[in-house]
Amino acid sequence: MMLKPVWIYLENGVFLEAKSFGFEGSKTGEIVFNTSLSGYQEIMSDPSYAGQFIVFTMPEIGIVGTNDNDMESSTIYASGMFVRSLNETPSNFRSQKSLPEFLKQHKSMGICDIDTRYLTKMIRDSGPKMMIASTEVSDPEKLKAMLASSPRIEEVNYIEKVSTPKSYVHDHGVWNAETQSYNATPKRLGKKILAVDLGIKHNILNELYEVGLDVEVVPHNFSGDDAIARYKKGEIHGVFLSNGPGDPLILKSEAAEVKKLIDAKVPMFAICLGHQLLSIAHGYPTYKLKFGQHGGNHPVKNTKSNIVEITTQNHNYNVPDSICKIAKITHVNLFDNTIEGLEYNDAPIFSVQHHPEASSGPQESRYIFQEFANRL
């Protein structure tokens, strides 16, 4: 496979040349790094990465190829990926497409033959940067001008792009490696929830169904009043707020609807962006971390059990410490002591910042889905 050159310009003035193996053209986005050792397909198809270029610290990427069953959404919303070395030929019986074919199909850029350690250290030291990558334009001044005229990631409402346009029912559990299929009929509890799609991952829905909950997925612009009416009638037993991309402070209308649910004391559970949205709806705005948390090996302490769980993380924003005035901290990130989980004092609401669905990643926090089911 002949790899074409690609030119990269970052907002701090860094200009680089590498090789392209995915979509050809020009794309802008925010560059972040991910420390996971596996699961690149699940990471790339996670809607939470919309508008971002992901630098993989794992040096060899592509060996297991890609397949339809490991998708976390219907497409790739990430702008692209950086890898040190590309494995063009997959070696896995489940593979249906190579990584280059996969990226081209979903119009996402692939960049290789570049020093990913250098990029990771730069992001670690000075934070994520807006950047542009192009297989068409090589002049750094032109790239600088193109980047300057593009919107920044915090200025774009990516939720409108990644959320489902209409409601639907999710009706299967997690992937079963022995049967090579999804669990179709886990034990049912007779409890139904609404899952608000802010960029939801497929495996979150799988886990919710797996613990016995009936799951109806609704768009980001759902009606809080309608959800409250259905809860009072006994049609639903709670609401789940999903993960998703972008700056949570831009979601003013969504926060207003969530506030209605809070006031009505509707039971809620939230992950990642949903966790942040709950904080905002309670009157505690989020803030941006220096370089975010992205990876599958982050230690989090459960303050109830004092057990340290190894978790999957994917967020650039965090809830403020001042939220302790209205909520108890249930989980703490041991890398930077930021809040990873909350239980609100005056309502049946709790949330976590990390990803207990573990796709990809460790499964030590998977119990949280059962905890949600037990509370309804």
324 is catalytic: no
315 is catalytic: no
Q: Phi/psi at 316 (nearest 5 deg)?
A: -110, -10
Q: What's the angle, vertex CA 312, arms to CA 308 and CA 317, rounded to 5?
A: 105
Q: Which of 170, 210, 272, 315 is catalytic?
A: 272
Scanning the chain, the segments in alpha helix (DSSP H) are 40-44, 99-105, 116-126, 140-148, 159-162, 202-210, 224-232, 252-263, 273-281, 367-375
355 is catalytic: yes
Q: Which of 207, 254, 355, 364 is catalytic?
A: 355
- Using a 10 angstrom Cβ sphere, with 0-12 exposed, 13-18 middle and 19 or more buried, the burial of residue 146 is middle
Distances in Å between the Cα of 336 and the Cα atoms of 115, 298, 350, 364 are: 26, 10, 21, 20
Q: Is 307 helix (H, G, I), strand (E, B) or coil?
A: coil
Distance, in Å, from the CA atom of 361 to the CA atom of 160, rounded to the nearest integer, reads 27
Secondary structure letter of residue 250 according to DSSP: G
Q: Which of 210, 257, 309, 357 is catalytic?
A: 357
Q: Annotated catalytic sites, by residue? A: 272, 355, 357
